[in-house]
Structure 1
């Protein structure tokens, strides 16, 4: 409902939005509504529109619209059927409609209100209407083109095809002698298109068709007092054509038929605006034959009407001019005609536009069903009967965000490098902002086409693929249950959400079960069952809303553009553990050696073996756990009354618990072998730590004793122990070790020595560089030997 032309806001408060065109014609929308096709047709008609005046429309099109001098009514003519409609602006609704026999060409309002009007019809008739309805009809010799009313003499002036202006005196009720305009032989007058009466000095101005001139007549002497010839050369140079012809009217001979289509005089009595059939508007001072302003509409179409906007201007200033053809409405300053104050493009072809004096409201008659109304706050205030428009527009301006970079595109540095525009960094062509730049939209489009000439083809292929996938989804296929059925991207995120939801669901079920059990113990079995049933029903009815079933995040799991990049730095900062695992799995870290690879495989094989045993033991434990859990669950009897015990269940639970205790064969032994008390050697493995300490203290102490225990008089004990003792070391092993030590050779680490001479002869590659491949068919002895303790 808002169209922005530069900094000036234009609010469409009736009819279609300015600058937009609907693909559905008005008559089809009305047909849908009349046949009650449902809410869709009504929504298409009403959505995006404000109805300032109710019923502001015609069945097919509207021709002319004007307001009364008291500002309380609006009168318009239209078709089909030919009719006149009057709206009460105080009530903002239609007052009445009145049909006619012929289509209206032009009309004027005689009184200050709507009660008296005179209409020029296209069948050469003139109709007078009063408050009661049609009053009188008369005819003129030729087809009329325009009508005006001279208040001092009560003459209705009617222009027609030819060089005569017919005068109908409403006071006497008869035709007077017509005004015959001078028609030179070399430039004959084909007709008079428009009539203007200056409100300051009542000078009559007639716009010619054929001679491209304006004649000024004095009503007192009924004679011509001036002639204004339009500059044909300047107009021809502006249009770029040697001959100017009225489109759709002139013959194919190409005769020069420049015409004046509209005239408007200013209230100061000196300024005139003259519009032509070529889309030009010229501003004249009555004291000079040369125009002081020249305006081109740009379409080359005849100007429908031109209006001087006086009073009520806020930002517009004084002396604004409105010129309109059927395509565009332009409002511009008389001193600077090259720039527009605002430009409005109606949704349908324009027939007439009327400016309400002293306000910023424009009423237009067009070829559509809905008549348009435009409100421009910068042009003037709202009329008295529509003062609420100012509050609405102020609220909309407060809520709207004005974007300074409306014609710019924001791109990042990577995209800038892809488009080949990185050399513009630091120039006025790029405006730095946050982590990127603002670039002109036109420059961005040009660079994108140059960088990727097939962008449109790729976009079209993508659209076709999406439509084919959408059509394929409608076919009959196997049902896919679960939320992951529609997940196309971010499957890891979807699985995590499902796991979290399942965990939360189990937690809630446990809470409800605990609450139901407490309620059953306190209020009886029947109430407990009712509580459990109510909780289950509530859980089933209120399904928790997650990212998977929320329609607002549907594109997150279907559109590839929203795929989470797990290799990005942002993802690594938010998920350090997952990023580390991804890095190790992808091989971005150092490659594993053959020994590490072999040990990893041996660990895997050993874990598989342990897994089987653990599974078996797990099964046994699970059986015992199940039996014990069953005993715990059997303690609850929902049929029992509060305080009553079930003896049978308790006996069964006691028997099961005793059987589980007897069947469990657990031998609690220490994991460290102990020494024999008599020999000091490794002895009974089942000896406790205290027995071991006792055997050490009862044995004969030696000089090499590793531990001493002192008992004080009051029963306290003090012990010292050195782990690296030498009393259990085999002396033969020490002697063998000393024998193996070579002179000048230092041994350190595991099988490493320094200072030895290199062996003579050729060495194999494996001896020189070490093992580079893992063993074949062998298992690591350090990882696969299991000692059974106890």
Structure 2
């Protein structure tokens, strides 16, 4: 697993991956450690991670890690239980482990290999270890913080709380006079955090806690030769606002002139021993105390010499001393750091952290692989084309919402789900099974979508003739919008022509023309890019067969139903209705009269017509214009038929076996229903009267009444008188329930009021023709 930041690859060869979500959590590591035996555990272990050193871990956490000077062993301390472990790098495996009574604070090796070492414990004890095991134990007056070994004098310098540095001489086997650090005018010394011995001239450097200074002592004269004061104002302005500024890490370069000093504010300062001001400052960015600083020397291929490593508990940064603003590489471990060690002359870093596994990182551009791990170069070359994994090899991270979608939320609290951050770890096999059950067609849908996208991409590469972009969906809506726009445009033109003829309304005309120009310049739904998907994306297609569409557009649904094809039953009913209408024409008069009389009734009773009561405050201009045209035709046909007479004839029953269509076609419906025997006996008047009376008594009557302006009676028609002589006006005829005909229209009446009523009748019958029928029961 590798991270690639600033084109510098960082490979994780042990432990948790740097900055990767695929890092193995502690519970998974414990589980595999418990199942350490068996082929399956070995297979998972090999396929899941790369382990450079086998068993490079501690039961709980690691504190310090270092390599021996000969480069053949790694020594590390950790917990719990407090212990020291040694790994043989030639065999890439653990050599032994050794337990102690207290946790380790710091240690150094006294020989070139692992056989001799001195350890500072957190219970104020100092232990000496040899190849055979624990050798000697002593105590210091105060709790220690760090130690260093001076080879020339065999003195071990132990720093602790307070202003004293204890000296344990291993040649004489006793404590020597401690070094007392002078506070001076810099403030109280709370303790000495770190000690460093320069490998070139053995100058001692002490990092002071509390006053923001670093003191340098000569081990020969055991006296202070200089005090380095950190730029307090500059550092505190960057990081913490606390008054307590401390030096937490010191590292001297092999040239004997350069020092790297880490502070409690998260800054690393580079000093030349000949100047009191730093020549470079690096900010870690988290404001946390710097735990380690070191100079990376030799072996670098592309980085060059003079690289500096600085680390707090969150991040490791490697940067050039000449350009501290940019990072050569940055590593964010999965666990908090306690210690970082760079293997000299290579690009390998070892870390001690708060996790079980100790992480090891390899940076090929920083330096070559160590001799004992030369195969890393071949492995990393093969992994250059691979990408970082997003899931475990056998576990999947799912959130609570996804878990509920899969129907596995009932497993919360069971061993099947392992809580981690804001979700859970789930077995990959169980996840795949649950996903297939939740959506069996997920793969088919994904495959179909991929094929469709590929086909669309291939279709775009074809050569086509240029054509205007049309409407893909909702074509009927687009046509309706265009029709409305055309009608609005025509109406505006007519209005403009009418007002152009009036000179008195010139000012108002100019004002409204400007308004019309503004309306024309406004974007419509078709031209507005915000609504472009309505006519392009099939997801916005209008379903004209849905109930919601029918409720919002009743007239469109009715017209669509009228235009559909007729069934066989409907065609047969239409033929019968045509035959009956042919017979009714002879009774009512000409076709124009019948059409004129019935058109008004159909117009008034049509449910798909515009009804202003259904939507108060709204107007349907198109429906109103059609309604006005139809009313004008009705009035014209009514005027042509005003002189027609109404005939009242008896309706005689139809004899058995007699066809309804027999007889004279000009006879009325009632005459055609008279029995044939009665028609044959109409020679004399007496028989005709008798048959007529019998028919009138036994058969139902048909009465058809059409108002007429003539004053004489005809065909049995009764003359109706309405109102008194005083109320009569010349040329005006009154009839019915207060109805009048022949009234002169007022020329000053508005155009909208010239066509009579504009509201729907409340009754179920037409007012233009009244027909009373008495039918057989």
TM-score class normalised by the smaller sequence? 0.5 to 0.7
Secondary structure at the aligned position of 1:393 is classed as helix
- Name the CA distance, whole Å, in 2 between partners of 1:473 and 1:155: 64
Cross-structure match for 2:69 = 69
Residues 743-785 of structure 1 deviation map (CA, whole Å, 9 limit, x = unaligned): xxxxxxxxxxxxxxxxxx99x99xxxxxxxxxxxxxxxxxxxx
Q: What is the rounded CA distance, in whole Å, between the counterparts of 2:403 and 2:148 in structure 1? A: 62
3-state DSSP of counterpart to 2:235: helix
Which of 252, 257, 271 is 1:270 aligned to?
A: 257
| 2:214 is the alignment partner of 1:327 | no
Q: Does 1:377 align with 2:364?
A: yes
Tell me the SS of whatever aligns to 2:299: coil
- State the Cα deviation string for residues 52-90 of structure 1 (Å, max 9, x = none): 100100111110000011100000011111111000000
Corresponding residue of 1:215: 215
Indicate conservation of the 8 Å contact 1:556/1:562, yes or no: no
Deviation string for 1:143-168 (max 9, x for gaps)?
11111011111111111111111111
Following superposition, the deviation at residue 40 of structure 1 comes to 9.4
Shift of 1:562: 3.2
Q: Secondary structure at 1:397's aligned position in 2?
A: coil
Other structure's SS at 2:81 match: coil
| Structure 2 contact 213–227 (Cα < 8 Å) conserved | yes
Give the counterpart of 2:383 among 391, 396, 403.
Answer: 396
Per the alignment, residue 170 of structure 1 pairs with 170
**Corresponding residue for 1:351?**
338
Is 1:301 equivalent to 2:288 in the alignment? yes
Q: 2:449 aligns with which of 541, 562, 571?
A: 562
Would you say the 8 A contact 2:16–2:23 is kept in 1?
Answer: no
Cα displacement string for residues 670-726 of structure 1 (whole angstroms, at most 9, x for unaligned residues): xxxxxxxxxxxxxxxxxxxxxxxxxxxxxxxxxxxxxxxxxxxxxxxxxxxxxxxxx
Give aligned pairs, total: 465
Larger-Rg structure: 2
> For each residue in 1:110-153, what CA deviation from the matched residue of structure 2 results, as whole angstroms up to 9, or x when unmatched?
11111111111111111111111111111111111111011111
1:135 correspondence with 2:150:
no
CA contact (8 A) 2:259 2:272 kept: yes
Deviation at 1:291, TM superposition (A): 0.3
The equivalent residue for 1:233 is: 233
Once the two structures are superposed, the pairs formed by residues 226-625 of structure 1 within 5 Å of their partners are 226-239=226-239, 241=241, 244=242, 256-398=243-385, 467-468=404-405, 554-557=441-444, 562=449
Q: Counterpart of 2:193?
A: 193
Once residues 53 and 285 of structure 2 are traced to their aligned partners in structure 1, the CA distance between those partners, rounded to angstroms, is 32
Q: Distance in 1 between matches of 2:121 and 2:406?
A: 60
Q: Are residues 340 and 363 of structure 1, via their aligned partners in 2, closer, same or farther at CA, if it must alter by over 3 Å?
A: same
- Distance (whole Å) between structure 1 residues aligned to residue 409 and residue 210 of structure 2: 66
1:77-105 per-position Cα deviation (integer Å, ceiling 9, x unaligned)? 11111111000000000000111111111
Shift of 1:570: 8.1
- Counterpart-to-counterpart distance in 2, 1:284 and 1:385: 35
Q: Tell me how far 1:394 sits from its aligned partner.
A: 0.7
Cα offset, 1:269, TM superposition: 0.7
* Residues 545-580 of structure 1 deviation map (CA, whole Å, 9 limit, x = unaligned): xxxx9x9995243569839879x9789999xxxxxx
Answer whether contact 1:29 1:45 (CA < 8 A) is retained.
no
Query: How far did 1:32 drift?
Result: 6.8
The 3-state SS of whatever aligns with 2:142 is: coil
1:473 and 1:198, CA in 2 relative to 1: closer, same or farther beyond 3 A?
Answer: closer
Are 2:16 and 2:24, in contact at CA under 8 Å, matched by a contact in 1?
no
Partners of 2:167 and 2:178 within 8 A in 1:
yes
Aligned to 1:249: none
Q: Which residue of 2 aligns with 1:6?
A: 6
Residue deviations 1:357-403 (CA, integer Å, cap 9, x gap): 110000000011100000000100000000000001011114569xx
Deviation at 1:173, TM superposition (A): 1.4
- The answer on whether the counterparts of 2:240 and 2:265 sit within 8 Å (CA) in structure 1 is no
Match of 1:359, SS state, is: coil
What is the TM-score normalised by the length of structure 1? 0.52
Superposition RMSD in Å: 4.9
Measured at CA, do residues 186 and 367 of structure 1 come closer, stay the same or move farther in structure 2, by a change above 3 Å? same
